[in-house]
Amino acid sequence: MAPDRDPVLPPILSLSDEDLMARVAEDEERAFGELVRRYQGRITNLVSRVLNDRECADDLAQEVFVRVFIHRRNYRRGSKLSTWLFTIAANLAKNEIRRRVRRRNWFSLDALQEALNDSAMIFADRREGTERALEREQLQKEVGRAIATIPEKYRVALVLRDIEGLAYEEIAEVMGLPGGTVRSRINRARTMLKKKLQPLRRKEGDS
Amino acid sequence: MKCHGVRRLFGAYWDDETTQAEREHLEAHFQGCAACRNEYESFSRAMEMVAALPRYEAAPDLLERTLARARRSSPARDTLPARETPWVPVTAVAALLLVAAAFVSQWSTLASGPRAARTTAGLSARVGLASGTGPVASGATGEARFDANAPVASATDSLFDHSEDIEFVLDPVTLRRGQATVTQPHQGLHTERAVISF
């Protein structure tokens, strides 16, 4: 990779995604670093929420960017960079879900919840009361767990829409599906999620 | 619109994608239908819970790890199709060459066979002429035959290749369309045959 470029070129930070990608295609390392910096949060969050597995999400997020780098010259100027990134991320996440299902060896969601609880406790806001923080964290874990139990084809659409906030048209592009199918999948996913979260609402009401 | 139709619009209503008419109808329905109102509350609460999920941050070393892996990755390919080794054309050409070589070899064998035979015949004729035996004597029977046992070794010591020689065979052999026929010599007439080679 070429470490740097001519200093008269516009600074990397002010570049549009397209121009940034063009510089990545020219092997500019700083441009690639900026691309990772811009999208690492969104990609990590997307993959984490689809898999409900933070550790694996880090590896997959890294894989997304490495693939972008490897295929940097295949990027079509004019297409939205974020759509391309989300497409790669969604596909990798789906592959991971299918791999786990095939191998049937993925650890139980309960164990995952325990691990997440432990790590969440460490980072819990100390200003909040410990009990309340735990309740809040617990609720979030339950929601994450409920999302993870939705079938993959509905889950990915739900996460893209309701967590990443993508427009229906962009989700259709990311998933390579007609807009009507995407809407239908999101509606199904939301209905499923509502049913799964029903008990939590009751618990919430009790407290 | 009945409850079922109203509930189908929950998603669009949440996304604020309903038409003005749909929204007004939905809200009017909520006024009079507690079940649908509760359903929508349940739906919107679930959506809020999802929206309230904390965002996972990227691992602090993700950038460094990714850059390190990118540096190790192979160089990018051009978007144009790579000029891959044309194995198929090469194989096809090789096969064609083999066929051509086999054909040429066979052709040369066929071509040299009669030529060699002709040469042999010519030589035997010459030898026969010199010795007064051989094809000339047998030619009198009306059949052109070549004596395989005719001594040809003596003629092969020539420094010149006579394979392309043109032979003029005088009477009693006449050439018709490339086929030699032997005419019956007159009875009692001792004929001689001459072969002129260039």
- Closest approach of chain A CAs to the CA of B89, in angstroms? 28
Provide φ and ψ at A5, rounded to 5°: -125, 180
> Which of B52, B55, B70 minimises the CB distance to A66?
B70
- Residue A88 CA to residue A67 CA, distance in Å, equals 8
Q: How many CB atoms lie within 10 A of CB B102?
A: 10
Among positive and negative, which fits the CA dihedral A43, A47, A48, A53?
A: negative
Please enumerate in sequence order all residues whose Cβ is within 8 A of that of B108, keeping only pairs 6 or more positions apart, or say none.
none
Give the model's pLDDT for residue A142: 92
Please answer yes or no on whether A69 and B53 come within 8 Å at the CB atom: no
Asked if residue A187 is part of any domain, the answer here is no
- Residue A68 CA to residue A20 CA, distance in Å, equals 12
Q: Which residue has the higher pLDDT, B176 or A151?
A: A151
Asked if residue A116 is part of any domain, the answer here is no
pLDDT of residue B117 exceeding 60, the answer is no
- Residue B154 CA to residue B156 CA, distance in Å, equals 6
Asked if residue A200 is part of any domain, the answer here is no
- pLDDT tens profile B138-164: 444 443 333 444 444 444 444 555 555
> Which of A1, A140, A162 minimises the CB distance to B70?
A1
Asked if residue A8 is part of any domain, the answer here is yes
Q: How many CB atoms lie within 10 A of CB B116?
A: 12
Q: β-pairing, B173-176 with B195-196? A: unpaired
Write out chain B in H/E/C secondary structure.
Answer: CCHHHHHHCHHHHHCCCCCHHHHHHHHHHHHHCHHHHHHHHHHHHHHHHHHCCCCCCCCCCHHHHHHHHHHHCCCCCCCCCCCCCCHHHHHHHHHHHHHHHHHHHHHHHHHHHHHHHHHHHHHHHHHHHHHCCCHHHHHCCCCCCCCCCCCCHHHCCCCCCCCCCCCEECCCEEEECCEEEECCCCCCCCCCCCEECC
Asked if residue A29 is part of any domain, the answer here is yes
Q: Where is A82: in which H helix or E strand?
A: helix A81-103
ipTM (interface predicted TM): 0.76
- In total, the C-beta contacts within 8 angstroms joining chain A to chain B are 107
Asked if residue A58 is part of any domain, the answer here is yes
A104: left (phi over 0), alpha (psi -120 to 50) or beta: left
Give the model's pLDDT for residue B108: 72
Nearest partner of B129 among B94, B170, B99, judged by Cα: B170
Q: Which residues of B touch A156 (CB under 8 A)?
A: none
> Using beta carbons and an 8 Å cutoff, which residues of B are at the interface with A?
8, 10-11, 14, 42-43, 45-47, 49-59, 62-63, 65-67, 69-71, 73-74, 76-79
Average pLDDT, chain A: 85
Q: Which residues of B touch A62 (CB under 8 A)?
A: 62, 65-66, 69
- Residue B127 CA to residue B150 CA, distance in Å, equals 8
Q: Which residues of A touch B4 (CB under 8 A)?
A: none
Asked if residue A194 is part of any domain, the answer here is no
Q: Which residues of B touch A57 (CB under 8 A)?
A: 56
Give the model's pLDDT for residue A147: 96
Q: Which residues of B touch A139 (CB under 8 A)?
A: 49
Q: Which of A37-51, B74-88, B155-169 has the largest mean confidence?
A: A37-51
pTM: 0.61
Q: What chain A residue is nearest to B52 in terms of C-alpha separation?
A: A140
Give the model's pLDDT for residue B195: 52
- Closest approach of chain B CAs to the CA of A193, in angstroms? 7
Length in residues, chain A: 207
Give the model's pLDDT for residue A51: 94
At A1, which CATH number?
1.10.1740.10
Give the model's pLDDT for residue A65: 96
Give the model's pLDDT for residue B58: 94
Q: Which residues of B touch A49 (CB under 8 A)?
A: 53, 56
Q: Which residue has the higher pLDDT, A111 or A137?
A: A137
SS3 A11: coil
Please enumerate in sequence order all residues whose Cβ is within 8 A of that of A18, keeping only pairs 6 or more positions apart, or say none.
A77, A78, A81
pLDDT-based confidence at A22, cuts 50/70/90? very high
pLDDT of residue A37 exceeding 90, the answer is yes
In a mutational test of the A interface, the residue from B38, B66, B74, B80 whose CB has the highest number of chain A CBs within 10 Å is B66
Please answer yes or no on whether A194 and B46 come within 8 Å at the CB atom: yes
HSE-CB for A73 with a 13 A CA cutoff: 12
Q: What chain A residue is nearest to B63 in terms of C-alpha separation?
A: A36
Please answer yes or no on whether B56 and A139 come within 8 Å at the CB atom: no
pLDDT cut 70: percent of chain B above it? 46
Range of the domain at A87: 1-106
pLDDT-based confidence at B90, cuts 50/70/90? confident
Please answer yes or no on whether B45 and A193 come within 8 Å at the CB atom: no
**What is the number of structural domains in chain A?**
1
Asked if residue A14 is part of any domain, the answer here is yes
Whether omega for the bond prior to residue B172 falls within 30 degrees of 0, making it cis, is: yes
- pLDDT tens profile B20-51: 999 999 999 999 999 999 999 999 999 999 99
pLDDT-based confidence at A99, cuts 50/70/90? confident
Which amino acid belongs to residue B155?
A: A
